Structure 1
Amino acid sequence: MNRSILIISYYFPPLGMAGVQRPLGLAKYLHRQGWRVYVLTVKPVTYWETDPSLLDDFPKEISIFRAGSLDPARLAYLMARKNRTERSLRAPAGKLVWDTKLGAVPFLWAKGCRLIEKFCISAVWTTSPPPSIHLAGCWLKRTNDVRWFADFRDPWEVEAPDKNSNRWPRRKKKLQRLLAAADGVTAVNEGLKDFLVSFTGADKVTTVYNGFDPEIVHLNTSPPAKVFTLAYGGTLSPATDPHAFPAALAHWKKEKKRNFRLILTGRILGLPIEKRLAELGLIENVEIAGYLPHGAALEKLAGANLLLLLLSEEEKYRLTVPAKLFEYIGLGKPVLAIASEKGAVAEFFSQHPVGELCSREEEIIEKLEFYYQQWEKSSLPELPEAQRAPFGWDKQAEQLSAFIESRLK
């Protein structure tokens, strides 16, 4: 069997933040499992953050190719308009049937055709967002002798909240056509898988979770000796609005007279976090570390006693499971999720006992006190290796490999 694969992802290092971790991790471990892996992405674009260190331990045998693009982020980079933010570039996307990255598709297709011919590639795997990336895979399948697999990290805003919009019928048709054309479909969680299955056959869709690099368990995980430390990793935005958590934290501090440290790593977008913390009298307990290189961020998280997962309770996030959860799992620390009791996160926690989930203020206070008392007794639970291992990128790459191979036969 020709085990060669072209991974196409708009987001890839040196771009940083969460979206790059999935193609990066799966490419690395597919290579270790004997696949000839090639990566196709875009040339430099204007983006929130970059992290070149992500490529430090990426296999040198994997070639990374970069195509041009006429999307706004690429054009802004070329024009050196450094004052333009990714948010302003993305603003019109909600009015489009596709997205603002559509201008990359012809370039990715043309480059992909040349790579398929040159390296005798048998499989193409496109990962979204942006949704338009799947057009490149669809076109490559039509014009080359390859199998195409579409990966969904997010639900493309086509689930329930948009059903009443005039974009829903058009997006629904395009989604159905894409799923019909694909040889296989992968989703990041069971809820998203079930949603996609409703548009195509169940045998065509499988779950490949996000994951963690097994090498991160070798980080120094010794927690601070004198202060109970909580940590959050990832972007803080309306999607990860901490809801009742700041107020609960303030009440817990006041009522129980607890001393603690809260570390926030990651970019803050569109939320007045510092103002809210100051109003609640928490600012002296908080370290706002900002966006850090991936390794440095993991070291911050590894030194904490309790890791926080935050997700908005808005309906449009019901199919989302933040990718950072899986790095938390890899670190083996207790996880406290502040999220809706309905949706993909709640479903995941019910199936995999990796931590506690709550949403109401009184529940949050109760859980904080529980973990604090466990810390005082030096008896904080640690996730057993047997529960961590299935979510390593190596295991997820095995799942993806088996699924693709079954479709190549």
Structure 2
Amino acid sequence: MKKKNFLPLFNPSLAKLKRILIISPHFPPANAADMQRVRMSLPYFKEFEWEAEVVTVDENYVDMVKDPLLLDSIPNNIIIHKVNAFSKKWTSKIGLGSLALRSLWFYRKKVNQLLKSKKFDLIYFSTTEFPVCILGSYWKDKFNIPYVIDMQDPWHSDYYQDKPKSERPKKYWFSYRLHKFLEPIAMKNVDGLISVSEKYINTLKDRYANLATLPAKVITFGANEQDFKIVQKNNDQLKLYYTPSTTKLNLVYVGRGGYDMRDALEILFKAFKTGLENEPHLFENIHFHFIGTSYAPAGKGIATISPIADSINISNYVTEYTNRIGFYESIKQLITSDGLIIIGSNDSSYTASKLYPYILAKKQLLGIFNEMSSAAKIMMDCNAGHLITFNDNQNEAYEKLHRYIISVKNQFPISTNFTAFEPYTASSMTKSQVELFNKVLISK
């Protein structure tokens, strides 16, 4: 009788895996910008000897555009825990809409249960729903587990303090004071920081003396080619928000608008108006499409781009679609375009994580960025397209726009250096994250 072959009870490769619990209130199928780092890192954690589980808010409580195809990019072996939240239907009556605040109690209860029943080496907050981060200090005291916070945006910020009320976010008075109170609670005992911007880390270190020697690392979001394969596979079910044309060039931007984009837009639109005056035969057959520019619910977004076009008298050449669209629909807009435009904030610390899909779309690309932004540096390092900076005068901006239009019209091949782009891929960015995680554990 033959002996049966049994798998060994002990697998040394699995024994090496460290375990991380990721706190990400937004998660697929919700199409939120702040869950993209987690989503694109999950396929690679095991490669770098980490095993991840995610705790997110049930999508039924999330007031955000849903894109079910996002689930196709999540590995089947990842354990996802879902928590409830207080219904916005009721909390909005007292002016409380924040997902972080609505889910805070449920997060505390669920993660307490998980930490009592399983061993995790680290808790990782990757979200712009920052108030949940105060639970890191609580769980560290209760379970002696270190935590890392991913600063994708500033938490407590003075950016809007000198701005007119009309340009401030809704409920700014309340949120400014709330964040000023909560941020120190989370930062008091944090063990490591990741950020998309060096400026965000430096601001926190200036604000909190205990962060001076803390492991910290600047890591932008990663570029994920797998997303383009998902679009190709599902192309027929994805909507296109403009009509392809043989007589016009459709130049496309997908992403948020906002008053902080005004400088970039004025540079672009004034250069375009100069083009209309100097070479109408070249510029009159161009149309700009700005898609998904508001985070507000469908039909309630406030246009922040078309008014600038109106003021420069080029509104016939510009269309703004304020409604948010699905993530993979966004990619379809990019790859179907004749050329791509990407605009940046007047805040030098702003990092345009959406730049990577633009580069992977392999179209002629024009970026308009603050010269000090990381996005400008990435475009230059990778030779990823035409770049206008805020330092350029009006004539320089026009000349660069002109060269870009010629490149689009003549379908010149792109000259992106994809070898230089390799450090910005999702795999490379995940490796950078786990290097910081390992450093946190060594320092304990």
What TM-score do you get using the length of structure 2 for normalisation?
0.74
2:220 counterpart residue number: 209
Cα gap change, 1:14 to 1:168, in 2 (>3 Å):
closer
| Higher deviation after alignment, 383-392 or 360-369 | 360-369
Q: Contact 1:137–1:148 (CA<8 Å) still a contact in 2?
A: yes
Question: How many angstroms apart in 2 are the aligned matches of 1:55 and 1:166?
Answer: 35
Among 42, 56, 60, the residue aligned to 2:76:
60
Among 243, 256, 260, the residue aligned to 2:265:
243
Aligned pair 1:150/2:142, yes or no? no
Among 257, 270, 278, the residue aligned to 1:255:
278
1:264 counterpart residue number: 290
2:131 counterpart residue number: 132
Q: Contact 1:18–1:234 (CA<8 Å) still a contact in 2?
A: no
Q: 1:16: how far off?
A: 1.2
Question: How many angstroms apart in 2 are the aligned matches of 1:102 and 1:32?
Answer: 34
Question: How many angstroms apart in 1 are the aligned matches of 2:365 and 2:198?
Answer: 20
1:120 counterpart residue number: 119
Deviation per CA, 1:19-41, whole angstroms, max 9, x where unpaired? 22122112333245443211111
Question: How many angstroms apart in 1 are the aligned matches of 2:33 and 2:409?
Answer: 33
Q: Which amino acid aligns with 2:24?
A: S
Question: How many angstroms apart in 2 are the aligned matches of 1:89 and 1:166?
Answer: 10
Cα gap change, 1:46 to 1:233, in 2 (>3 Å):
same
Q: Contact 2:34–2:126 (CA<8 Å) still a contact in 1?
A: no
Q: 1:367-378 counterparts in 2 under 5 A?
A: 367-378=400-411
Question: How many angstroms apart in 2 are the aligned matches of 1:345 and 1:111?
Answer: 38
Cα gap change, 1:226 to 1:380, in 2 (>3 Å):
farther
Q: Which amino acid aligns with 2:273?
A: A
Among 186, 193, 202, the residue aligned to 1:194:
202
Paired residue total: 387
Among 14, 23, 29, the residue aligned to 1:14:
29
1:93 counterpart residue number: none
Cα gap change, 1:361 to 1:15, in 2 (>3 Å):
farther
Q: Contact 2:61–2:84 (CA<8 Å) still a contact in 1?
A: no
Q: Contact 1:216–1:331 (CA<8 Å) still a contact in 2?
A: no
Any idea what SS the aligned residue of 1:29 has? coil
Structure 2 spans left out of the alignment, 5+ residues: 1-15, 164-172, 233-243, 295-300
Question: How many angstroms apart in 2 are the aligned matches of 1:101 and 1:141?
Answer: 19
2:252 counterpart residue number: 231
Q: Contact 2:35–2:127 (CA<8 Å) still a contact in 1?
A: no
Question: How many angstroms apart in 1 are the aligned matches of 2:245 and 2:52?
Answer: 41
Cα gap change, 1:284 to 1:406, in 2 (>3 Å):
closer
1:405 counterpart residue number: 438
* Identity in percent: 18
Any idea what SS the aligned residue of 1:301 has? helix
Any idea what SS the aligned residue of 1:206 has? strand
Any idea what SS the aligned residue of 1:243 has? helix
2:88 counterpart residue number: 75
Any idea what SS the aligned residue of 1:365 has? helix
Any idea what SS the aligned residue of 1:394 has? helix
Q: 1:289: how far off?
A: 9.1
Aligned pair 1:320/2:350, yes or no? yes
Cα gap change, 1:349 to 1:335, in 2 (>3 Å):
same
Q: Contact 1:334–1:382 (CA<8 Å) still a contact in 2?
A: no
1:381 counterpart residue number: 414
Question: How many angstroms apart in 2 are the aligned matches of 1:388 and 1:147?
Answer: 33
Q: Contact 1:54–1:294 (CA<8 Å) still a contact in 2?
A: yes
| Higher deviation after alignment, 276-285 or 54-63 | 276-285
Q: Which amino acid aligns with 1:251?
A: T
Deviation per CA, 1:229-269, whole angstroms, max 9, x where unpaired? 42211122334445303343233234322222433332443
What TM-score do you get using the length of structure 1 for normalisation?
0.80
Cα gap change, 1:41 to 1:169, in 2 (>3 Å):
closer
Q: 1:305-344 counterparts in 2 under 5 A?
A: 305-313=338-346, 317-343=347-373
Cα gap change, 1:251 to 1:240, in 2 (>3 Å):
same
Q: 1:13: how far off?
A: 1.9
2:106 counterpart residue number: 107
Aligned pair 1:40/2:77, yes or no? no
Structure 1 spans left out of the alignment, 5+ residues: 91-98
Any idea what SS the aligned residue of 1:56 has? helix
Question: How many angstroms apart in 1 are the aligned matches of 2:88 and 2:320?
Answer: 36
Cα gap change, 1:102 to 1:290, in 2 (>3 Å):
closer
2:3 counterpart residue number: none
Q: Contact 2:219–2:433 (CA<8 Å) still a contact in 1?
A: yes
Q: Which amino acid aligns with 1:191?
A: K
Any idea what SS the aligned residue of 1:13 has? coil
Q: Which has the larger radius of gyration?
A: 2
